[in-house]
């Protein structure tokens, strides 16, 4: 494969990851009930429906609290997406060091996310999203390894 194609296969997965994180973060920001976006995973984890959870008098303000948490989470995910996108665009992952750092950070992050999912929410649809993230990471790493042949 030529170096330009390899470089694109190294960079594009991280551009997709950054843009996806920004979009997902905005979904949590604009949703009137953002916890419902993760309903299946949350119901699995809590082992209780939102209807029964919100019906208890002690939990009357729980929707406000969850909205606050998810809004913060949305901003956090947007920020992570913007940082990934910024680093990728500024460096173009043009050096082995830039590629190595970003790919290493994602490797550690994906291991942590995978462990949490397999322990707490193994039947959630988020597991499939994580498989996709692993695939993007693998494409970037394998292309980056091939690209080393052309690095000066």
Q: What percent of the chain has pLDDT over 90?
A: 90
- Residue 151 banded pLDDT, cuts 50, 70, 90: confident
- One-letter-per-residue 3-state SS of 100-114: HHHHHHHHHHHHHHH
Containing domain of residue 106, as a range? 3-150
Domain count, the chain: 1
Which tens digit of pLDDT belongs to each residue from 56-95? 999 999 999 999 999 999 999 999 999 999 999 999 999 9
Q: What percent of the chain has pLDDT over 70?
A: 99
């Amino acid at each position: 494969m030529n170096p330009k194609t390899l470089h694109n296969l190294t960079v594009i997965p991280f551009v997709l990851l950054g843009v996806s994180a920004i979009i997902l973060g905005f979904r949590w920001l604009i949703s009137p009930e953002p916890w419902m976006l993760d309903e299946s995973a949350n119901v699995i984890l809590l082992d209780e429906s939102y209807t029964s959870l919100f019906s208890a008098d002690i939990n009357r303000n729980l929707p406000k609290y969850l909205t606050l948490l998810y809004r913060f989470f949305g901003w956090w995910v947007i920020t992570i997406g913007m940082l990934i996108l910024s680093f990728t665009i500024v460096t173009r992952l043009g050096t082995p060091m830039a590629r190595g750092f970003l790919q290493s950070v994602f490797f550690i992050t994906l291991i942590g996310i995978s462990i949490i999912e397999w322990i707490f929410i193994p039947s959630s649809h988020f597991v499939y999203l994580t498989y996709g993230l692993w695939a993007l990471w693998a494409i970037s790493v394998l292309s980056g390894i091939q690209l080393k042949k052309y690095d000066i």
